[in-house]
Structure 1
Amino acid sequence: MSRTRFVLIQPSHAGNVGAAARAMKVMGFDDLVLVQPRWDDVLERDETLERASGATDVLRQARAVDTLDAALSGVSYVMGTVMTPRDFGPPTYAPREHLASVAPTGQGVAFLFGSERYGMRNEDVYRCHAALRIPVSPDYGSLNLAAAIQVIAYEWRQALGGFDLPPVPAPERADAAAVAGMLRHWEQALVDIGFLDPAAPKKLMPRLNQLFNRAQPTPEEIHILRGVAKAMAEAAKKPKP
């Protein structure tokens, strides 16, 4: 039984088929079925391949069928994407809310997407166990087919546990002695340029100390800051014109 299938009903734009394959692949899905596509050779058309942007393996194993029955073979739970809930149709949910409850069941699922021109037909919606409505702006709710597939694929992947991102190595932090040495360098430079009065320093240096402790500079940044202090001191020594 296929774990996850994406079904496009009567897709009319070859580019959307390629973009759908790309959207699926980045979320780790590869079972794509087209029901009565406009083009018999849609899986090999130039626009399809271009928009797939490397997801050609998904296209190679995708298949076109004549009926929705054939597309849903081996699937036990069907969800259709709709903008408007249908009278007498299945209950309508936001994807995140519903998919979190579906994921633990272990069922083979299919997501149905209607034609770009008129969306899903009522008879196709009635075949579904649930309808999914993506929350969008009430002022403009028109989603491109591939964009809708990307949203649903992302939400389903998250419901299944998501992908672990590679750990980001923590940057090396300068040690306390390096920060203290840099601050002494800056203190002298600030005196040299007349910004700091050593007779009345107030709380300037403790404040700078706290600032750099919060910033947690790296050794390279300490080197840059020392270079700035050196340049300030040298500029202060130059005779004024």
Structure 2
Amino acid sequence: MSQSAASAPHSPSSLFDQVRFVLNETSHPGNVGSAARAIKTMGFGRLVLAAPRAGADVLRDPEAIALASGADDVLANTLIVPDLVAALQGVSWAVALSARSREYGPPNAEPRESAAIAVQHAGQGEAVAFVFGSERTGLSNADVDRCNALVHIPANPVYSSLNLSQAVQLIAWEMRMACLAQARGDAPQVVTVATPLADAASHDALATRDDVEGMLTHLERALVELDFLDPDNPKKLMTRLRRLFAKSHLEREEVNILRGISKHILERKVRR
């Protein structure tokens, strides 16, 4: 994306509408209500629950309603989906929030950096998401692998315990500041040196998470047919490929090329 496009003014509401906050396998109804309140105070309204452990009734739980504290509209419009894949449907840029680093996975980013990049995608009309794990176990490695960046909130290392809704509040505030800066036409403060994440902000027509997941499934089948991937002993091949593509920030055309290669491999195997 060009600098002029990155700095062009946008309506704050149009940017805010592109942002969704995803709670994955959350357990406590109170955190759902508190999260709804947290994002509403920052001007956002899209809350998604992926496989909530309290079930679909969580939105009607008295504790959730009480802690929403006036954000009843956000709570009422909260979308409940069966898993994280469904929660990220249509999303171009997804950020995983985690208290711990991972050996494998997407590139690391600071909260402010991830917000600056996210708002650039929102400015292009692309959906972005911030994904938060369950209160007890956080996000699994597979969940993190579905995102473009991994963010750790740099809290006090001696006592870094953050409640889920507090983490949502911090990220919502960073996104609000980034959205308001974009709406004013200010240049987003991504980073001062080139990084894979900074490069991602300049791409046009990034592939959505759905596009990438479909391509990876297709590619995995092709690699199995080539006997390059042993499904009974896959090791870390697909995990490493996920990390590779997360760093590459594939465009839709590039995903189509990879799917075309996979299709050709599978068809040629059938003919043989």
TM bucket normalised to smaller: 0.5 to 0.7
Q: Report the identity percentage.
A: 49
Measured in 2, the distance between the counterparts of 1:101 and 1:70 equals: 23
Q: Which runs of 5+ in 2 are unaligned?
A: 1-13, 184-272
Picking from 63, 67, 75, the partner of 2:79 is 63
- Tell me what 1:90 maps to: 106
Secondary structure in structure 1 of the residue aligned to 2:59 = coil
User: 1: distance between equivalents of 2:84 and 2:120?
Assistant: 26
What residue is the counterpart of 1:149 in the other structure?
168
Mapping of residues 1-241 of structure 1, within 5 Å: 3-40=18-55, 41-105=57-121, 106=123, 107-161=126-180
Deviations 1:30-65 (A, max 9, x none): 111111112220001100000000000001111211
CA–CA distance in structure 1, aligned partners of residues 150 and 128 of structure 2 = 13
1:45-93 superposed Cα distances (whole Å, 9 cap, x missing partner)? 1000000000000011112111111111121111010111211211111
Cα distance in 2, alignment partners of residues 163 and 54 from structure 1: 28
Structure 2 CA distance for aligned equivalents of residues 127 and 93 of structure 1:
15
| Number of residue-to-residue matches in the alignment | 164
Match of 1:77, SS?
strand
Which segments of 5 or more consecutive residues in structure 1 lack a partner in the other structure? 165-241
Q: Higher relative CO (CA 8 A, sep ≥ 6), structure 1 or 2?
A: 2
C-alpha distance after superposition, 1:129-149 (max 9, x if no partner): 001111111101110000000
Give the deviation of 1:162 after TM superposition. 6.0
* Larger proportion of helix: 2
**TM-score, normalised on structure 1?**
0.65
Structure 1 segments (4+ residues) deviating >3 Å: none
Local SS of the residue matching 1:80: strand
TM-score, length basis structure 2:
0.58
Q: CA deviation at 1:97?
A: 2.5
Which of 1 and 2 has greater Rg?
A: 1
Q: Distance in 2 between matches of 1:98 and 1:4?
A: 13
